[in-house]
A and B are shown apart, each in its own frame.
Chain A
């Protein structure tokens, strides 16, 4: 039973906190009316993963080329998927299809780039990993502090397929990165990792659901979070083992540090089990930095601020250690280190304003009806059209 998808043009799809799955991420409270649709825009090729090669697919303001699909049909393929929000105070959504053919192997390097302020972004990925296929998805989410950003990936896996994911995020005014995995096939293996580092009043929600319906499924989840100042981290993880999904081995961990006095962490690690030949476990901890470790470092001559930074980095870094490819791991480490040393400005307004203005003017009104429900019947423009309807 897959819950309905959020559609920013349809207020009746905006959940409030009375919807159990959204109790800590109240969309209806902050999104009062449908935002004006984002205009067409473009970006220079690049993005945080530029150095790692692979084909680039840039989805700017919700617009992707008409044939926006990523299909992997062989070993060792790399794709860079960039979701760029480039216009202040507007909204956009897009849906991308990703297909890993049986036996193929894809490294999906995804970035959420907030190059404007106050936008509303809603990105949906429909991912299919064929039998024996492998998908590694790495997400770097750098949204603006006053943005609302929702990403949802629905993943279906074939027999003996493997899916590994690591999400790094600094949150937004309200941000949710949701992953739903189901594997009807036998022997699928899933790794779902994440880390969040939240300052100011940023909010990040990591929600996941792994539905084990096939035999001998394996799931390993590790999410680490650090909340500074008045940030709020939300972790919701649900592991379902259906009747007959014997031999499932699922482990889930969520560990968070609250470093600011007004920070908040809400967690709900759920196990829903209908089969008996299983081993499932979850662990969840929330607390402050270990005073003993801090004392030890200081006794070795490390200044307090540095000791704190070191411990925080080590704490979060654990989630990155599980990334297999070294070059990818290094990019993620550098991304994290940069944000640990200088927290992102509490307002995203300064960032990308220069480029945004030009883009708005250039795009004019032509793309304005993009988000109207009737999108499907409209002929796609060369740079737009993609799949912004749900």
Chain B
């Protein structure tokens, strides 16, 4: 029983959420509450053109008529939408031109988080280390975007969403809302009305983006919601790999994060989108606080032979409601979804994907690994469907769940809808606990119970980890171990 005692001890000392600090910086907020005035306030703050405001107002009207969805296996007190600030921005001089103009407190924040905002810092690492460009979003606004010049040389547009609305309105108007319509769901409608910033990427035809692009989201201010919007367009034959990371301070009240991500891949284009989500999960004992992560992510494989690959490592958030999906319209287009979802403490996650096969010979692959520990609940929910015209569609799905502890829950809810005779769908799922034999073997080789668990869990999720870009894989691997600390049973 020594191991059990050890577990109990480790559980107690665990859960020091490493990104839980707050940044003292002078900020300006929108008034608390949400009405048409709030929408106009945000739009005016960003100096948006009339069409953008009208689009937001229409979304707001749709949102008013909608109800918050309740079908997910999550149980939470709904956010009070009238008690939030919908806009919080660090006070700065009009659009910082260089890093020197950004508030040093914010720079310090990113430094603590290990996010390189100075281009030379990226290069200061190991020789030959891959470069990656960062768009840093602090509460409601993008504070800095790095490597813009180098990207511009290749013709890649990588900037904050607000900037894209100003400088590339034709692209934004053409693609915004074309994958996730404003009335798609409750949270998407809310986001469409009040989104404040986010990243915009356009990769021109035939261009392979010369470096990884990334956005780092940070919620800082109290009682705010973060509503960012990401739009990535890979034109014909283009390739881009995009990373997203997120953290938030420890706070007792729940914070809302309702993002919309739209990806568009034209003929022969490929987008690889990776997320390491580590929002504050709330207090592991009481379940107090933590982020509500209600995100709509969808990719439109519009072009023939286009490909979108989603990879996600979900370790944070109190409640997660997220289904990165692919609409496979182009002939021979490919969708992939690789996911690791780890819940501990009192976290609840309901996550998965949708692969909607609309075009002929489309293919998709889903690998989902769920690990639940503590008193958490972890649900995989996915849809694979084939339209009558999607002849020759193929899907392979594997979702495995691992249970660590007596009081956690793991659910698997896959939906399969095959509407034509030549589609071929395969799905398999397993739910088990850590193998006693394997644990015993690892321990008799001299590993502690904790190390043995970390080793086995890392083995369990390896298939997904190896899909992550290298810089992220290392971070994710550490995150997997940290998230599970103290959960050994």
Kindly provide the distance from the CB of B132 to the nearest chain A CB, expressed in whole angstroms.
38
Residues of A within 8 A of B414 (CB): 267-270, 284
Do the beta carbons of A261 and B413 come within 8 Å of each other? no
Contact B424 A266 (CB under 8 A): no
Question: Closest approach, in angstroms, between the C-beta of B381 and any C-beta of chain A?
Answer: 10
Contacts A276-B403, A286-B425, A287-B425 given: A261-B388 contact, CB under 8 Å?
yes
Q: For residue B292, give the distance in angstroms from its CB to the closest CB of chain A.
A: 22
Is B21 interfacial (CB-CB < 8 Å)? no
Which chain A positions have C-beta within 8 A of B425?
Answer: 284-287
Chain A residue nearest to B396 in the complex (CB): A285
Closest-CB distance, B354 to chain A (whole angstroms): 14
Instruction: Specify which chain B residues have a CB less than 8 angstroms from the CB of A266 in the assembled complex.
Output: 415-418
| A51 interface residue (CB < 8 Å to B) | no
- For residue B409, which residues in chain A have a CB less than 8 angstroms away from its CB? 272-274
Contacts known (A258-B420, A261-B421); A273 close to B403, Cβ less than 8 A: yes
Q: Which residue of the partner chain B has the closest CB to A234?
A: B417
Residues A271 and B427 in contact in the complex (CB < 8 Å), given A263-B421, A288-B422: no
Is there contact, CB below 8 Å, between A282 and B429? yes
Q: List, in ascending order, chain B residues with CB within 8 A of A269's CB.
A: 412, 414, 427, 429
Tell me if A54 counts as interface (CB < 8 A to partner B).
no
Q: CB < 8 Å: which of B419, B431, B489 contacts A281?
A: B431
Shortest beta-carbon distance from B376 to chain A in Å: 11
A179 to B60, alpha carbons, bound, how many Å? 44
Chain B nearest CB from A269 CB (Å) reads 7
Per-position 1/0 for B238-281, Cβ under 8 A of A: 00000000000000000000000000000000000000000000
Interface flag for A265 (CB, 8 Å): yes
**Least distance between B313 CB and chain A CB atoms (Å):** 22
With A264-B417, A270-B413, A286-B423 in contact, do A275 and B429 touch (Cβ < 8 Å)? Answer: no
Which chain A residues border B157 with CB–CB below 8 Å?
none
Chain B residues with Cβ under 8 A from A284's Cβ? 414, 416, 425-428
A367 within 8 A of B: no
0/1 interface trace, chain B 421-452, chain A, CB 8 Å (1 if under): 11111111111110000000000000000000
Residues B370-429 near A (CB distance < 8 A): 388, 401, 403-429
Q: In the complex, A256→B424 CA distance in Å? A: 10
Chain B: CB-nearest residue to A269: B414
Residue B71, interface by CB 8 Å:
yes
* Distance between Cα atoms of A49 and B423 in the complex (Å): 37
A residues 106-144 touching B (CB-CB < 8 Å): none
How far apart are B73's CB and chain A's nearest CB, in angstroms? 8
**Chain A: interface residue count, which band?**
20 to 34
**CA gap between A263 and B433 in the complex, in Å:** 38
Q: How far is the CA of A262 from the CA of B420 in the complex (A)?
A: 6
Please tell me if the beta carbons of A278 and B412 are within 8 angstroms of each other in the complex.
Answer: no
For residue B426, which residues in chain A have a CB less than 8 angstroms away from its CB? 283-285, 287
A12 within 8 A of B: no
Look across to chain A and name the residue whose beta carbon is closest to the beta carbon of B380: A271
The answer to whether A287 touches B424, judged by C-beta atoms less than 8 angstroms apart, is yes
| Per-residue interface assignment for chain A, residues 4 to 46, with 1 indicating a CB less than 8 Å from any chain B CB and 0 otherwise | 0000000000000000100000000000000000000000000
The answer on a CB contact under 8 Å between A280 and B421 is no
Q: Which of B188-211 contact A (CB under 8 A)?
A: none
Closest to A283 in B: B428
Contacts of A279 in B (CB 8 A): 430-432
Residue of A nearest to B421 (CB): A258
- Taking the closest CB of chain B, its distance from the CB of A358, in whole angstroms, is 43
Pick from B413, B416, B429: contact of A265, CB under 8 Å: B416
* Contact of A276 with B489 in the complex, beta carbons under 8 Å: yes
CB pair B428–A264 under 8 Å, yes or no, is: no
Q: Pick the contact of A278: B421, B422, B428, B432 (CB < 8 A).
A: B432
Which A residues touch B430, using CB under 8 A?
279-281
Most chain-B CB neighbours within 10 Å: which of A263, A280, A286?
A286
User: What residue in chain A is nearest B405 (Cβ atoms)?
Assistant: A276
Q: Is B423 within 8 A of A276, CB to CB?
A: no
How far is B213's CA from A167's CA once the two chains are assembled, in angstroms?
Answer: 55
Tell me whether A327 is interfacial, beta carbon within 8 Å.
no
A288 to B310, CA, bound (A): 28
Among A263, A272, A277, find the residue whose CB has the most chain B CB atoms closer than 10 A: A272
A273 lies within 8 A of B410 (CB): yes
Instruction: Tell me whether B428 and A273 are in contact (CB under 8 A).
Output: no
Name A273's contact: one of B411, B416, B419 (CB within 8 Å). B411
Closest to B426 in A: A285
Q: Which single residue of chain B is at the shortest CB-CB distance from A267?
A: B416
List 7 contacting pairs A-B, 8 Å CB cutoff, sorted by A.
A264-B418, A267-B416, A273-B403, A275-B403, A278-B431, A285-B427, A286-B424
Seen from chain B, the residues whose Cβ lies within 8 Å of a Cβ on chain A are 71, 388, 401, 403-433, 489
Q: A280-B431, A285-B425, A287-B425 are in contact. List 10 more A-B contacts (CB 8 A).
A: A258-B418, A260-B421, A261-B421, A264-B417, A266-B416, A270-B411, A271-B410, A276-B408, A282-B428, A286-B418
The 7 closest A-B pairs by CB, nearest first: A287-B424, A276-B403, A284-B427, A258-B421, A267-B416, A271-B412, A280-B431
